[in-house]
Amino acid sequence: MIDLHSHTRFSDGSTTPAELICLAASAGARAVAITDHDTVDGLPEGRRAAQESGIEFVDGVEISADFQPGTMHILGYCFDPSSKELNLALEKLRVARSERNPQIASRLRALGLEVHYDEVVGLAGNEVVGRPHFARVMVTKGYVASIKEAFDRFLAKGQAAYVEKHRLSPADSIELIRKAGGVAILAHPYQMKLSDEDTEDQIKRLKDQGLDGIEAIYSRLNSVEREKYISLADRLGMLVSGGSDFHGSFKPDISLVTGLGDLQVPYEALGKIKALAALRSRPSLT
């Protein structure tokens, strides 16, 4: 089995890339992608550790696109991590984060929660500070009992401490990944919060914009839902991907590779992603 969706301390996961690869090895994974939010800086460490463990490593990234009513995250795989254009765009997204984050802290203080941005930065210890870091500080200070409660009551879209940040459009997110030589996959499609019919229409539009596939095999989906997205991908002639969305202690119920216990992502999914990426980088073979 494999896992194509995971986060490390380079964004809002709790493990280092090397620790994550150790967990993957213990779980018997054949291949793993690290897909941190808005950064590719953890990939070299992950790749080195994977080489030592005899696990196949896949370069990945997760970009949050501008979308309503839910959220739309685009995963990129098998791109050139040294692409200038990609790195510049990700840097801009990190700047947008650092503009948004202090505003979340002030909103929380206005609501009577003494949360200071420097504490949150200190906890994150990296360039990509995200809402889960705020949630952890809120738990530590006793304002909420869990990270989930912090989101449900304060941090989730629509709650009082939610602050928008500048995002790329879906089309630009896809183009960024494709221009860096990568394959673009729609993460956890249900989080767009659309009806089945609107989900299909939306994915068709994204496909016209260059989207390659759908993350149909995901921790928080049951087997019926997974089948639904797999058959949608088949119908639209798109790839199927899958992963746990492991965040370590920031999402304590989700394990790497096995998700909530029933996750099984076949190697074949990665085989197809790699084949597509290879075809694109050597178009003479088509």
Residues that bind ligand AMP (CB under 6 A): 12, 37, 64, 130-132, 148, 151, 156, 247
Exposure b/e, 227-240, CB count within 10 A at least 16 = b = ebbeebbeeeebbb
Nearer to ligand AMP, 9 or 37 (CB): 37
C-beta closer to Fe ion: residue 35 or 101: 35
Indicate whether 215 belongs to the interface with Zn ion (CB under 5 A). no
Return the axis-axis angle of helices 170-179 and 84-110, rounded to nearest 10°: 140
Q: Does 178 bind Fe ion (CB under 5 A)?
A: no
Q: Which of 12, 38, 41, 212 binds Zn ion (CB under 5 A)?
A: 12
Please give the C-alpha separations between residue 122 and each of 31, 40, 116, 133, in angstroms, as whole numbers: 32, 21, 10, 10
| Cα–Cα dist 56/77, whole Å | 13
Q: Which residue is closest to ligand AMP by CB?
A: 130
Site residues for Fe ion, window 72-91 (CB under 5 A)? 73
55 Rama class: left (phi>0) / alpha (psi -120 to 50) / beta: beta
Task: Check: CB of residue 211 under 8 Å from CB of residue 187.
Answer: no
| Residue closest to Zn ion (Cβ) | 12
Residue 64 binding partner per list Zn ion, ligand AMP, Fe ion, none, with a CB distance cut-off of 5 to 8 Å that depends on partner kind: ligand AMP
- With tokens 């009513």, the residue in question is 69
Candidates 3-11, 47-55, 147-155, 278-286 — which segment interacts with Zn ion by CB under 5 A? 3-11
**Of 143 and 218, which has the nearer Cβ to Fe ion?**
218
